[in-house]
Structure 1
Amino acid sequence: MSTSPISAAQPNAAGQNSSTRIIFASFIGTAIEFYDFYVYATAAALVIGPVFFPHGSATAQALSAFVTFGIAFVARPIGSFLFGHFGDRIGRKSTLVASLLVMGASTTLIGFVPGYDSIGSLAPILLCVLRFGQGIGLGGEWGGAALLATENAPPGKRGWFGMFPQLGPSVGFLASNGLFFALALSLSDEQFRSWGWRVPFLVSAVLVALGLYVRLKIAETPAFKAAIERKERVKVPIATLLSQHGLPTLLGALAMVVCYTLFYNATTFSLSYGVSVLHIPRPTFLGMLCIAVVFMALATPLSAWAADRYGRKPVLIVGIVAAILSGFTMAPLLGSGQTPLVLLFLVIELFLMGVTFAPMGALLPELFPTNVRYTGAGVSYNLGGILGASVAPYIASVLAAHGGLPWVGAYVSIAAAVSLIGVLCMRETRDTQLM
């Protein structure tokens, strides 16, 4: 017996799942998870270097901080293998709860790790271990949240439903950056570096409790229930994925590169560069990022609507071509050091991130059958993170030091071109049935 996605429109048939509950549960989890992740990204740009790697120049401190930033992206595919296995074997709901717990505990504990001045080299070691834990948790989060939305979506609305997990990062970033912005305004530099930066990490515990309450109220997705009834589950989803669905996994990962590169170069790298090199006051730059991320949030529903109407590939192709061109704006806009032009650059990059990111909530799940969908969507998403984000701030910092911002802009354009190749080589998935 097969189950159509239209089941989402019939809450009673799907247990406790109503459209409102599904939308909120898929959104709130990714918002919290990405809040946790962006808290670290912001801290890495501002204080991780001096607190945990105090020896050496400011550049060396920044590079060390960005290395710890990249550790989580190495861990994320491992998390997608681990949580994807259980998500495809025992279900979406319990796996999503577990991923949220791992991510939240790791983030909260980072707020308690003493600095190098207190415990020496043990400080960066503990930081790296917990950063790895963040990556493991987030590696299992996104794929499950996307499946929760898309496997419950009515016909013709998968792009729209899949957009809600994609809104989570905008809200999570706005919350984390807004909190850092408020701290920057209310605390002195000494207070901020001493204890203020820890506050956003500790706030994560409260948000995780909220997320768990919402996640525990949802029921399993209709598509997974149908797969159980048809006895379609496989023993080792990752083995099946790599042996039978290797090409879609690779193409999905390539498609994700542009999203990550746009975001982390416009936020983590640009924040570090703007504060340390251009000498823009930290509160000013954080305020500009808060404004720019609103445009990312606005672009997300517009792009999702267009992806349902015109298809995933046309929307992504337009967005990626624009991203390629945007690389040429980095030097004249960001490099000017003038607040209006820097803000314009951040708005362009984050708007295009929203355009290219929104269709992924539907596209990646649509590339895979139900029995490996959690694993496949998660692995593609997180492999794209290794290619596009793990070393993006580090590479950008090195390029800026040696060739200036034009080199960094070229890096953004090249990364976007890689995604364009991936999208051009994949099939259109809008009319795929998630059974």
Structure 2
Amino acid sequence: MSETTSDTSPVGVSTTSPTSTNAATQKSTASRVAVASLIGTVIEYYDFAVYGTAAALVLGPAFFPSGNATLSTLAAFLTVAAAFVARPVGVMVFGAIGDRAGRKRALFLSLVLMGVATVGVGLLPTYETAGIVAPALLVALRLLQGVSMGGEWGGAVLLAAEHAPPGRRALYASIPQAGPPLGFLLSSAVILPTLAIAGRDGFAEWAWRIPFLLSTALIVVGLWVRSRIAESPVFDERSTGDAAAPRFPLGALVREYPGRLLLGVGAALGGSSVYYLATVYSLSYGPSALGIPQSTMLTATSVAAAADVAVTVPVALAADRFGRRPVMLAGAAGCALWALPMFGALQTRDGLLITGAFTIGLVLFVMMFAPMAAFLPELFPARLRYTGASATFILAVTLGGGFAPLVATWLTSHWQSPFVLGLYAGALCLVSLGCVLALPETRDKDFGV
């Protein structure tokens, strides 16, 4: 088979597998695929971050008016959790598509579904206009968002990892991992000026819809980018015969790899709690319980997210050089120790201290999560890799992140101190530490099997 690439070909398209191309061509192809995967992931996580921020700021009174601010906020956070509950459905649906029909197709469809759901939220009537129909539609669209996210992460990191040149798998897989903080930053870049222009009352009344509706343009860009991504060469080589995925990949995964599935979930549990408590729950808790200005909390989390992006590549390079486990173990131990001062900094109400504490916390989080993009897929064979990577990550994010705002709301209602958030997140990080210790090093795994 001859090797052909050209500037007019779709992004990353090559007529040969990476094993038969020269190193320069493989590196160029892998870079373009990784960046294309990142763009789509940023858009999906922008949509998700916009919803999380809106839930913390306005969705409670707009869709769940109760006369009690805590109950309304709790109801809004329940819709956040609902999307996480729906993510395992996305794992089943998109995992089967990704393992049987291709990573590219699953990613494209997940972005279409996310776009429909996000724009739909921006067009919804509120409870005042439509009554009980409004929250029912909100929950339905939120569930669709969750299903979409169930297929997003696994496909994005797999396309990047399975195109990566030898010895650089963690690096290329980590590039889509920058999608969540970049999506959060993009959402903040839209929400902060919208808040400033419309004011808090105007934002709560109508301007909260703007970030959702702006997603239309982003989705169009994302679909164009994803239409140009090449299929994974590993999938192309192993999509037939004995190497083909079973009819129901999730069932095969549970039967054949139950231990790795559970330990993989535990490995990602602590980092998920740290990230979602910092970027979702604190946006509501800081202003409502501690009187911290909303702009201060948004600024603090945005600076921390920017630091998250900045250290992702250096951390991934360390994981390629020293192994996945040493880097993740250092991150888990650091997060377990830092969780208490990180969230305790909220008690000071000092914007600079909060920003510094959150920045250190999310840098430690990256040490846990940047290598995870290569580590979790490396735990499973190619025929089950989309489902295996997605299932471990999504279940961890659901349990550790999706329910974090609900658990945190309950904890802070009984113990009126932000230190309780640190105890909760720190305990989950210790669980992750133990699970990573129990799993093998995967840096040298043959990714073609």
Q: Displacement, 1:417?
A: 0.9
Query: Hey, what does 1:276 align to over in structure 2?
Result: 288
* Higher mean displacement: 423-432 or 298-307: 298-307
Alignment of 1:114-193 (within 5 A): 114-193=125-204
Is it true that 1:211 corresponds to 2:213 in the alignment? no
CA RMSD, aligned part only?
Answer: 1.9
Q: What is the CA deviation profile of residues 194-239 of structure 1, one whole-angstrom value per residue up to 9, with x for unaligned ones?
A: 1111111111111111111111112211101110255411222112
* Higher mean displacement: 325-334 or 113-122: 325-334
SS, match of residue 208 in structure 2 = helix
Q: Displacement, 1:73?
A: 0.6
Is it true that 1:104 corresponds to 2:136 in the alignment? no
Native 8 Å contact 2:26 2:165 kept in 1: no
CA gap 1:33/1:267 in 2 versus in 1, 3 angstroms? same
Q: What is the CA deviation profile of residues 245-295 of structure 1, one whole-angstrom value per residue up to 9, with x for unaligned ones?
A: 121111111111122101111121111111112222222321222212111
CA gap 1:28/1:9 in 2 versus in 1, 3 angstroms? farther
* Higher mean displacement: 17-26 or 114-123: 17-26
Query: Hey, what does 1:198 align to over in structure 2?
Result: 209
Query: Hey, what does 1:262 align to over in structure 2?
Result: 274
Query: Hey, what does 1:428 align to over in structure 2?
Result: 441
Alignment of 1:391-410 (within 5 A): 391-403=403-415, 404-410=417-423
Native 8 Å contact 1:170 1:293 kept in 2: yes
Aligned pair partner of 1:344 in 336, 356, 360: 356
SS, match of residue 290 in structure 2 = coil
Identity %: 43
Q: Displacement, 1:185?
A: 1.4
Query: Hey, what does 1:30 align to over in structure 2?
Result: 41
Rounded Cα–Cα distance in structure 2 between residues aligned with 1:8 and 1:381? 32
Alignment of 1:339-378 (within 5 A): 339-378=351-390
Query: Hey, what does 1:224 align to over in structure 2?
Result: 235
The one-letter code sitting in structure 2 at the alignment partner of 1:220 is E
Query: Does 1 or 2 have the higher relative contact order (CA < 8 Å, sep 6+)?
Result: 1
Native 8 Å contact 1:323 1:416 kept in 2: yes
CA gap 1:90/1:264 in 2 versus in 1, 3 angstroms? same
Ranges in structure 1 where 5+ consecutive residues have no aligned partner = none
Native 8 Å contact 1:46 1:272 kept in 2: yes
Ranges in structure 2 where 5+ consecutive residues have no aligned partner = 2-15
Which of structure 1's runs of 4+ aligned residues deviate more than 6 A? Answer: 10-14
SS, match of residue 440 in structure 2 = coil
Rounded Cα–Cα distance in structure 1 between residues aligned with 2:323 and 2:206? 48
SS, match of residue 228 in structure 1 = coil
CA gap 1:332/1:88 in 2 versus in 1, 3 angstroms? closer
Is it true that 1:304 corresponds to 2:344 in the alignment? no
CA gap 1:65/1:7 in 2 versus in 1, 3 angstroms? farther
What TM-score comes out, normalization by structure 2 length? 0.93
Is it true that 1:253 corresponds to 2:265 in the alignment? yes
CA gap 1:224/1:328 in 2 versus in 1, 3 angstroms? same
Native 8 Å contact 2:66 2:72 kept in 1: yes
Native 8 Å contact 2:315 2:366 kept in 1: yes
CA gap 1:139/1:8 in 2 versus in 1, 3 angstroms? farther
CA gap 1:150/1:370 in 2 versus in 1, 3 angstroms? same
Q: Displacement, 1:77?
A: 1.2
Native 8 Å contact 2:87 2:394 kept in 1: yes
Query: Hey, what does 2:336 align to over in structure 1?
Result: 324
What TM-score comes out, normalization by structure 1 length? 0.95
Rounded Cα–Cα distance in structure 2 between residues aligned with 1:139 and 1:311? 27
The one-letter code sitting in structure 1 at the alignment partner of 2:53 is T
Rounded Cα–Cα distance in structure 1 between residues aligned with 2:94 and 2:21? 24
SS, match of residue 305 in structure 2 = helix
Rounded Cα–Cα distance in structure 2 between residues aligned with 1:261 and 1:87? 27
Q: Displacement, 1:13?
A: 8.7
CA gap 1:360/1:13 in 2 versus in 1, 3 angstroms? closer
SS, match of residue 175 in structure 1 = helix
Rounded Cα–Cα distance in structure 2 between residues aligned with 1:13 and 1:110? 41
The one-letter code sitting in structure 1 at the alignment partner of 2:306 is V
Q: Displacement, 1:154?
A: 0.4
The one-letter code sitting in structure 1 at the alignment partner of 2:107 is L
Q: Displacement, 1:333?
A: 1.1
Query: Hey, what does 1:335 align to over in structure 2?
Result: 347
Alignment of 1:66-85 (within 5 A): 66-85=77-96
Q: Displacement, 1:12?
A: 7.5
The one-letter code sitting in structure 2 at the alignment partner of 1:241 is L
Aligned length: 432
The one-letter code sitting in structure 2 at the alignment partner of 1:86 is I
Query: Hey, what does 2:303 align to over in structure 1?
Result: 291
Rounded Cα–Cα distance in structure 2 between residues aligned with 1:267 and 1:247? 31
Q: What is the CA deviation profile of residues 341-374 of structure 1, one whole-angstrom value per residue up to 9, with x for unaligned ones?
A: 1112221222222221111111111111111100
Rounded Cα–Cα distance in structure 1 between residues aligned with 2:379 and 2:29? 25
SS, match of residue 23 in structure 1 = helix
Q: What is the CA deviation profile of residues 128-172 of structure 1, one whole-angstrom value per residue up to 9, with x for unaligned ones?
A: 100000000011011001110000000000010011110111211
Rounded Cα–Cα distance in structure 2 between residues aligned with 1:333 and 1:291? 15
SS, match of residue 243 in structure 2 = coil
Rounded Cα–Cα distance in structure 1 between residues aligned with 2:20 and 2:84? 35
